[in-house]
Amino acid sequence: MTTNDDIYYINLIIEGNSKAFSVLVDRYKDLVFSLALKMVKNREEAEEVAQDTFIKVFKSLSKFKGDSKFSTWIYKVAYNTCLDRLKKNKREQHVVSIDEFNSNQIKSLDNALDLMEDEERNQTIQHCINLLPSDDAFLLTLFYFEEQSLEEIAKVIGLTANNVKVKLFRSRKKLTAILKERLEPEIIEHYGS
């Protein structure tokens, strides 16, 4: 499941070539940092979490069985490291109420997003994802931006694929609520003039 290239470096590291670990760090550092930032919502803490993640990966590399992608295994380590950090800090999360949305409301929001430039849309979506609770932001990032399958995400967060599907649905509803709150004034201004 994991790439042969990753396996090559993993074997080198297990055989005692610790310098080979820098290749894996370079390959996955941006990803681990961005996932950590989505969860802990603080740049310095995300850097610490990323560093802790790679220390844990290095120390337990011999436990990697290869039954999933190496990236999935790293995501799981990063996710658990983030959860540990959040428990330690007992941070309050931004709570979003979920209103009932019908498909027409969601479709009108999608149409409004289509009117925006791609870059502006991506910035808006990223900003709104950052307002979500950590678990939701992490889940949406893995699914949409890292294009992980439901099965891969299930391995990362320790749930079944069906549970991940339900959590994704709820996360999207929360994201829709935030997008609606952010975009409605813009839509009214755009069409009202």
The answer, yes or no, to whether residue 1 has pLDDT greater than 50, is: no
Q: Whole-angstrom Cα distance, residue 65 to residue 108?
A: 46
Return the pLDDT at 49: 93
- pLDDT per residue as tens digits for the range 44-97: 999 999 999 999 999 999 888 888 889 889 998 999 998 888 888 764 444 444
Q: Are 82 and 14 in contact, with CB atoms under 8 Å apart?
A: no
Q: What is the pLDDT of residue 94?
A: 47
Helices (H), 15-160: 21-40, 43-59, 70-89, 103-115, 118-130, 134-140, 150-157
What was the pLDDT predicted at 95?
Answer: 47
- Which CATH topology does 4-89 take? Rna Polymerase Sigma Factor; Chain: A (1.10.1740)
In the predicted structure, residue 22 carries a pLDDT above the cut 60: yes
Mean pLDDT to the nearest integer, 157-171: 90
CA separation for the pair 105, 64 (Å, rounded):
45
The pTM of this model reads: 0.61
Does the structural domain 103-192 have CATH classification 1.10.10.10?
yes
Q: CA-CA distance, 17 to 149, in Å (whole number)?
A: 32
Residues of the chain with CATH 1.10.10.10: 103-192
Predicted local confidence at residue 78, as pLDDT: 92
